[in-house]
Amino acid sequence: MNQPPGATQTTLDDAAELFRNARRVVVLTGAGISTSSGIPDFRSEGTGLWSSDEPMEVASLGTFRTYPEKFFDWFRPLAGQIFNALPNPAHTALAMLESADRKFTIVTQNIDGLHQKAGSKHVIEMHGTLNTLSCTSCYQKFEAGDFLHSFIEHGTIPLCKNCNGTLKPNVILFGEQLPQAAWLEAQNAARQCDLMVVAGSSLEVLPVAGLPVQAVDRGAHLIVLNNTPTYINIRADIVIMDDVAETLPAIAKRAIDG
């Protein structure tokens, strides 16, 4: 396997050693882990979703409630990218690492479901999922597949089959609370792990961005894999600023092969 340009042989070996020695691993993933699958991140200059749109105007709960057409107009291209995306080597590497370690938890800020498509089993989705929709009137939940296909292809706003109410993707919008059960599970995992890995997250969105602190404050090792700096780099054992689709497979191969 080629060595990622931003990592040295020693750095990769040290990261793999931390994985091998860990008993409880938590990997916090963000939008940067899915860019190689064709899904844009949010904050990259010129290409991020928020470089051209104001999030509170297009992706807030208030906008969805008062002007759902505006939300769906903005969301349609992104939904198509997510619907057609496939896992990349970073997702596959995490699934391989999980299969070698039963106490392995992925906490993701992503809504694309690519971790599960790659084979990961224990995934906590902090910002919800695009795989289901819920009616804003009768609260019936539906699988998203058929609705999304029509929405992506024709722009048809998804409506409830029972009451004709507008269906909302089960993703967390601005102004909406995190799912309480997922948040409590993520905090518990972070506080009990002995290795925390940040992969493809700029750690700019609270409260999820605070999870690495909860881990490190309790003595966990920390690996940061991201192509831009994060606030917690100074406390990390290992920092590799490169594409996680290259660094994670390189680390996983070393960790699994020994």
Print the domain residue range for 193: 1-39+87-127+178-258
Helix (H, G, I), strand (E, B) or coil at 30: coil
Same domain, 100 and 65: no
Same domain, 233 and 121: yes
Catalytic machinery residues: 127
Same domain, 238 and 136: no
CA 17 – CA 53 distance, rounded (Å): 42
Residue 197, number of CB atoms within 10 A of its CB: 30
| Contact call for residues 107 and 26 (beta carbons, < 8 A) | yes
CATH number at residue 166: 3.30.1600.10
Helix (H, G, I), strand (E, B) or coil at 119: coil
Total number of domains constituting the chain: 2
Same domain, 61 and 154: yes
Same domain, 198 and 227: yes
pLDDT at 91 over 70: yes
Predicted confidence band of residue 248 (pLDDT cuts 50, 70, 90)? very high
Least confident of 9-23, 33-47, 122-136, 166-180: 33-47
> Mean pLDDT across the stretch 211-238?
97
pTM of this structure = 0.90
DSSP structural state of residue 35: G
CA 106 – CA 61 distance, rounded (Å): 26
Same domain, 235 and 184: yes
Same domain, 105 and 214: yes
Total H helices, total E strands in the chain: 10, 9
CATH number at residue 245: 3.40.50.1220
CA 173 – CA 175 distance, rounded (Å): 6
